[in-house]
Amino acid sequence: MSEDTRTALGKPPAFRNPADERPLAKILLIGLALVFLAFFLLLPLVSVFVEAFRKGWSEYYEALIEPDAAAAIRLTLLVAAISVPLNLVFGLCASWAIAKFEFKGKSFLITLIDLPFSISPVISGLVYVLLFGSNSLLGPILKSQGITILFAVPGIVLATVFVTFPFVARELIPLMEDQGTGDEEAALSLGASGWQTFLYVTLPNIKWGLLYGVLLCNARAMGEFGAVSVVSGHIRGLTNTMPLHVEILYNEYNFVAAFAVASLLALLALVTLALKTLLELRFGAGAAGGRH
């Protein structure tokens, strides 16, 4: 016993693993990271809610049920309800073709799918203005048929589909590539049809990754600003989505209303983050790659 105590006393003050920093350095680094995150992430988030409730609940509530705000909320939900399923179907098709087969030009195709990530949202809107605008090739033809795309819901949907295009595919391709084709081949050899294989074998394997992709796709679809702003025409009550409505209110110095609508979007972001974290914790679904 006495031998033990002596050894303990004779030891250097505190043993530090050679692959570890000094405690002081650790605390400094943690502090630095926390201060930085507080200034750039946490405070902006908190300020949204503080500004929204600056004049109390009733003003907040008023701002949300006001007809133009309500119309913007409805339009945002509608746009997401159309564009997310479209990109979901595309994501499934593209990842099936890319992950389950070897073909020429595959990596080029993947680059093309990534394209919207590297294009400014404003340009994403601009390309549709150029395509369907009054002085374009298609514009007059469509107009004579009575079809309006620009400054109307179809244009907003198109722009949203453009910017959210890669989200589901991006999540599924690496996941399905990892899983290989063994399961599908086994199912087919057991007599399952192509559909059955997809439905009972592939889909259960990728469902969490799929959900993850849809979640991110939806968040972006509801929150897109730049692209939608270019094609919408800002017609109140008709072509204003929530983010556009936030801009209009803000530019009119109606800050409480602007932040009230913004707080709904912030809430959406928080729910998205929470679900995303939950998915990662429980299923390790696609570790958030750096390109969203």
Partner 1 sequence: MEVTINNIRKEFDRFPALNDVSLKIASGELIALLGPSGSGKTTLLRLIAGLDFPTSGKIFFGDQDASHHSVQERNVGFVFQHYALFRHMTVAENIGFGLKVRPAASRPPKTEIRRRVSELLDMVQLSGLEKRYPNQLSGGQRQRVALARAMAIEPRILLLDEPFGALDAKVRKELRRWLREFHDRTGHTTVFVTHDQEEALELADRVVVMSQGKIEQVGSADDVYDRPGSPFVFSFIGESSQLPVEVRDGTMLFQGQPIGIAEAGDGAGELFFRPEDVTLVDAPDALFGKVTACRRLAGTRIAEIDIANDGHAPYHVEVEVPLHAPIELGSETRFRPTRWKVFRK
Partner 2 sequence: MIHNATASPAKWRLKRPSIIPGFGLTLGFSLAYLSIIILIPVAGLLWRTAGLGWSGFFAVLTDRRTLDALYISFGTAFVAALVNVVFGTVVAWVLTRYNFPGRRLIDAIVDLPFALPTAVAGIALAALYAPNGWVGSLFMPFRIAFTPLGIVVALVFIGLPFVVRTVQPVMEELDREVEEAAATLGANRFQTISKVILPGLTPAILTGFALAFARGVGEYGSVIFIAGNIPYVSEIAPLLIVIRLEEFNYAGATAIATIMLIISFVMLFIINLIQAWNRRRYGNV
Residues that bind partner 1 (CB under 8 A): 3-4, 7-8, 10-12, 15, 17-18
Q: Which is nearer to partner 1, 14 or 281 (CB)?
A: 14
Q: What's the closest the beta carbon of residue 3 comes to partner 2, in angstroms? A: 29
Question: Tokens 């803000």 sit at which residue?
Answer: 250
Residue 4 binding result from partner 2, partner 1, none, given CB thresholds of 5 to 8 Å by partner type: partner 1
Q: Given the complex with partner 1, which of 6 and 236 has the nearer CB atom?
A: 6
Other CB atoms within a 10 A radius of the CB of residue 71 amount to 17
**What's the closest the beta carbon of residue 21 comes to partner 1, in angstroms?**
14
Look at residue 186 and give the partner it binds from partner 1, partner 2, none, a contact being a CB closer than 5 to 8 Å depending on partner kind: none
**C-alpha to C-alpha distance for 199 and 290, rounded to whole angstroms:** 30
Residue 259: which of partner 2, partner 1, none does it interact with, CB under 5 to 8 A by kind?
Answer: partner 2
Please name which of 250, 270, 252 lies closest in space to residue 260, comparing C-alpha atoms.
250
What DSSP element (H or E) covers 31? helix 23-37
CA 116 to CA 224: how far, in whole Å? 13
CB of 211 to partner 1, least distance (A): 36
Which of partner 1, partner 2, none lies near 10, with the C-beta cut-off 5 to 8 A by kind?
Answer: partner 1
The interaxial angle of helices 67-100 and 167-179, nearest 10 deg, is 30
252 binds, among partner 1, partner 2, none (CB under 5 to 8 A by kind): none
Among partner 1, partner 2, none, partner that 153 touches (CB below 5 to 8 angstroms by kind): none
State the minimum distance, in angstroms, from the CB of residue 212 to partner 1: 31
Rounded CA-CA distance 143/134 in Å is: 8
In terms of CB distance, is 10 or 289 closer to partner 1? 10
Tokens 């500004």 map to which residue?
Answer: 51
Q: Which is nearer to partner 1, 9 or 65 (CB)?
A: 9
CA distance 35 to 122: 33
Q: How far is the CB of 235 from partner 2 (least distance, A)?
A: 15
Residue (of 218, 220, 201) closest to 96 by Cα position: 201
Place of tokens 């989505």: 241
